[in-house]
Chain A
Amino acid sequence: MPMRIKLRDGNLYPAEDPFTALADDQDLVPGDVILSLSRFQAEGDRLLSEGRAVGVRLKSDEEVEALAYDLPRIAVVALEFPKFRDGRPYSSARILRERFGYAGEVRAVGDVLREQAHFMLRCGFDAFEPADGTGAQQWEAATRRFRHVYQRAADGRTPAFAEREA
């Protein structure tokens, strides 16, 4: 089974990935699947009614708002980084967590590099498919780099201004 890095209780572990990511032209396989937004809109109801866990993969120019009403039944939202420079998925992740209160998996896919680990974790991503061959240990180190942060985001960390008040 393919692997991904998964956040659990504040730590990052290698974890088996029960989902199959299906391209739009790929035949359906048994089990849990991750689909594009358009394929989810076409086939999601049926697959969910079969008792499968279903995830949706959003391109960086697709708005998370399109999923707002479906979120309670979506197991994974995979946000795609076409290039590491494309920062739109960070906004998408925060909106999922902070505005919609989404509690399922938010997975980083595409051009996912360990240099982004800190930012991704802060914005609410909790699963990662690194494209640079790095593993959970290196990601763990990267995310523990900063003892303090200056902003409130989706990870629950206390920002500097609140630490100073305590």
Chain B
Amino acid sequence: MYRYDNIDKAFVADRTAEFREQVERRLAGEITDDQFKPIRLLNGLYLQLHAYMLRIAIPYGTLNAAKLRKLAWIAKTYDQGYGHFTTRTNLQLHWIKLRDAPQILEHLAEVEMHSMQTSGNTIRNVTADPYAGATADELDDPRVWAEAIRQWSTLHPEFSFLPRKFKIAVTAAAKDRAATKIYDIGLAMRRGRNGELGFEVMVGGGLGRTPYLGSTIREFLPTRHLLSYLEAILRVYNRYGRRDNIWKARIKVLVASLGAEEFGRQVEAEWAKADHERTDLPDTELARIRAEFTPQFETLSPRSEALERAKAGDAAFARFLRHNVHPHKAPGYALVDVSLKTPGLTPGDITSEQMNVVADLAERFSLDELRVNYNQNLILPHVKLDDVPAVHAALAAAGLATPNMDLISDIIACPGLDYCALANARAIPIAQHIAERFADPVRAEQVGELKIKISGCINACGHHHVGHIGILGVDKKGEEFYQLTLGGSGEEDASLGQMLGPALPADKVTDAIEQMVEVYLRERKDGERFLDTFRRTGVTPFKEAVYADAH
């Protein structure tokens, strides 16, 4: 993985020193809370319902053991001994004291981490395919380009006061594991006619109050021009994005109001005027970055006798293999999911002790690498098949081996009203109830792939619009209600969910999910996923089942 050189280290050190001074000015009363707010928001520090929350950047979801151990130690020392992984692959600590924040940033800097640009109207932490460098279906390692974007976007002089926050995701695989169509800019690598690599550039995706899927404004951008083209998009947005209304300030609204074609024309015109050489990275720098992403795999047999033996005698392990272990590009290796979705617990939460377990496993068994995906789970990306039984045993002992990836209990949920000042309703207890109802792994497996996504408010941090079943918390005269949507997807077959009907009270949500699952099991043909059945039947049978009592 990418390691900081002296320049990167000095940069983060300078930033940390600046923040320490700013906090001192605030604590000394030299600046007011109002004046301090934009400063802390440039460093990922939010004021929530009960305490400060620090959002720590995990660029393109890549970690190593030293980083995760440091996060574990920080969570134990300065917080309540746990952290929360988000749909943006960042880690949130929810119980931070302001006076500790500068010290925490110094500890983070020791392991080449920071919390810059995890908040505020800036280019946020860049995300990428969590299978990068490990999957056979990619054209290139997207982290090379994500790292280029990370550096380019860091304290960008022109784009640090955008109309609104701005998120970029990169994938180089046909299967979209980075949700690129719901990003402000989604970059999907393609191969051109002459064999050259380029990006399909999608702009204006996003969820929130008015959800949109991204529109392609360029089918093929040669990779070497990535940064100059991004700069052109950002310039058009910075100049012409709305600033009079926070709800209309995202780039999706500009793209929708101009039309993707006209927006694309303006970007092309801006790009044509720019001196690309000044912005695009030289080949030497790209080669330097690329060299950081070349793990050495051993030559192994594609079949592991040790794994086959373990599987034969152990139904739980076999189930783990079916759902949490995925093919790797190198023979004899696998990607192993670490489930942060134990039914009854908070999706995405992980204790310091668990972080240490995962860090040890990464170091011993996964070439010292780890990934975070937007489903709020972790991945050990390079595990030898021979080692999978040992990894499974260690994960199971730590409560991290629930074999439920992409199943009904692998629920995305934002922190909701339990933590967040913006929320209208709680998300975590809803996720917990549903997951507990479907905790039986045999039943969950029968139901198959079903992605439930829960947001506690219209800001949609829980991606509810693109859930196969989406759940949105709303406030009805002081009571928590939940609006259900069906048929969303955030992947290559992206679509926005369709409203099921009137919002339900909290105690009816799990029953409604179960009723819809029954409809699906009744209607499903030829092993269809829930999503496919819904797309075939439409909303009617689901609606009838859930609202039968009301008729």
Query: Which residues from chain A sit less than 8 Å from chain B, CB to CB?
Result: 63, 84-88, 90-91, 94, 98-99, 115-116, 118-119, 122-123, 132, 145-153, 160-165
Residues of B within 8 A of A161 (CB): 151, 281-282, 285
Residues 38-69 of B at the A interface (beta carbon under 8 Å): 38-39
Task: Please list 18 pairs of residues, one from A and one from B, whose beta carbons are closer than 8 Å in the complex, sorted by A's number.
Answer: A85-B121, A87-B121, A88-B238, A88-B239, A90-B161, A91-B235, A115-B22, A145-B17, A146-B155, A147-B10, A147-B14, A148-B14, A151-B157, A152-B278, A153-B157, A164-B285, A164-B288, A165-B284
For A86, A99, A118, A150, the residue with the greatest tally of chain B CB atoms inside 10 Å of its CB is A150
**Nearest-neighbor residue (CB-CB) of B281 within chain A:** A161
Contact B155 A118 (CB under 8 A): yes
Residues of B within 8 A of A98 (CB): 275
Seed contacts A98-B275, A153-B157, A153-B158; 9 additional CB < 8 Å A-B pairs: A63-B239, A90-B158, A91-B239, A94-B158, A99-B273, A123-B158, A145-B14, A146-B155, A161-B151
Q: How far is the CA of A91 from the CA of B235 in the complex (A)?
A: 7
Residues 123-174 of B at the A interface (beta carbon under 8 Å): 151-152, 154-163
Return A42 CB to nearest CB of chain B, in Å: 25
Contact A119 B284 (CB under 8 A): no
Contact A150 B152 (CB under 8 A): yes
**Nearest-neighbor residue (CB-CB) of A147 within chain B:** B10
Residues of A within 8 A of B17 (CB): 145
Contact A152 B279 (CB under 8 A): yes
Contact A165 B285 (CB under 8 A): yes
Residues of A within 8 A of B154 (CB): 150
Query: Which residues from chain B sit less than 8 Å from chain A, CB to CB?
Result: 5, 7-8, 10-11, 14-15, 17-18, 22, 35, 38-39, 121, 151-152, 154-163, 235, 238-239, 243, 273, 275, 278-279, 281-282, 284-285, 288
Contact A119 B160 (CB under 8 A): yes
Residues of A within 8 A of B162 (CB): 87
Return B163 CB to nearest CB of chain A, in Å: 8
Residues of B within 8 A of A145 (CB): 14, 17-18
Return B285 CB to nearest CB of chain A, in Å: 4
Residues of A within 8 A of B238 (CB): 87-88, 90-91
Contact A91 B5 (CB under 8 A): no
Q: How far is the CA of A88 from the CA of B162 in the complex (A)?
A: 8
For A146, A161, A165, the residue with the greatest tally of chain B CB atoms inside 10 Å of its CB is A161
Q: How far is the CA of A84 from the CA of B120 in the complex (A)?
A: 13
Return B491 CB to nearest CB of chain A, in Å: 32
Return B308 CB to nearest CB of chain A, in Å: 48
Contact B155 A86 (CB under 8 A): no
Contact B38 A146 (CB under 8 A): no
Contact A123 B157 (CB under 8 A): yes
Residues of B within 8 A of A132 (CB): 35
Residues of A within 8 A of B38 (CB): 84-85, 115
Residues of A within 8 A of B18 (CB): 145
Residues of B within 8 A of A88 (CB): 238-239, 243
The 4 A-B residue pairs with the shortest CB-CB distance, nearest first, are A87-B161, A122-B157, A161-B285, A90-B158
Residues of B within 8 A of A165 (CB): 282, 284-285
Return A86 CB to nearest CB of chain B, in Å: 6
Contact A164 B160 (CB under 8 A): no
Return A133 CB to nearest CB of chain B, in Å: 11
Residues of B within 8 A of A85 (CB): 38, 121, 161, 243
Residues of A within 8 A of B163 (CB): 87
Return A97 CB to nearest CB of chain B, in Å: 11
Contact A87 B159 (CB under 8 A): yes
Residues of A within 8 A of B161 (CB): 84-87, 90, 116, 119
Residues of A within 8 A of B155 (CB): 118-119, 146, 149-150
Residues of A within 8 A of B160 (CB): 87, 90, 119
Return A77 CB to nearest CB of chain B, in Å: 16
Residues of B within 8 A of A87 (CB): 121, 158-163, 238
For B151, B155, B158, the residue with the greatest tally of chain A CB atoms inside 10 Å of its CB is B158
Return A82 CB to nearest CB of chain B, in Å: 9
Given A122-B157, A145-B14, residue A160 in contact with residue B279 (CB < 8 A) = no
Q: How far is the CA of A86 from the CA of B243 in the complex (A)?
A: 8
Q: How far is the CA of A162 from the CA of B39 in the complex (A)?
A: 29
Return A104 CB to nearest CB of chain B, in Å: 20
Residues of A within 8 A of B235 (CB): 91
**Nearest-neighbor residue (CB-CB) of B17 within chain A:** A145
Q: How far is the CA of A164 from the CA of B7 in the complex (A)?
A: 9
Return A142 CB to nearest CB of chain B, in Å: 8
A84, A148, A151, A164: the one contacting B10 at CB < 8 Å is A148
Residues of A within 8 A of B158 (CB): 87, 90-91, 94, 119, 123, 153
Residues of A within 8 A of B121 (CB): 85, 87
Q: How far is the CA of A20 from the CA of B10 in the complex (A)?
A: 42
Contact A146 B11 (CB under 8 A): yes
Residues of B within 8 A of A149 (CB): 155, 157
Q: How far is the CA of A119 from the CA of B160 in the complex (A)?
A: 8
Return A96 CB to nearest CB of chain B, in Å: 12
Return B1 CB to nearest CB of chain A, in Å: 18
Residues of B within 8 A of A119 (CB): 155, 157-158, 160-161
Contact B7 A151 (CB under 8 A): no
Residues of B within 8 A of A147 (CB): 10-11, 14
Q: How far is the CA of A86 from the CA of B238 in the complex (A)?
A: 9
**Nearest-neighbor residue (CB-CB) of A150 within chain B:** B151
Residues of B within 8 A of A162 (CB): 282
Q: How far is the CA of A151 from the CA of B280 in the complex (A)?
A: 10
Residues of A within 8 A of B8 (CB): 160
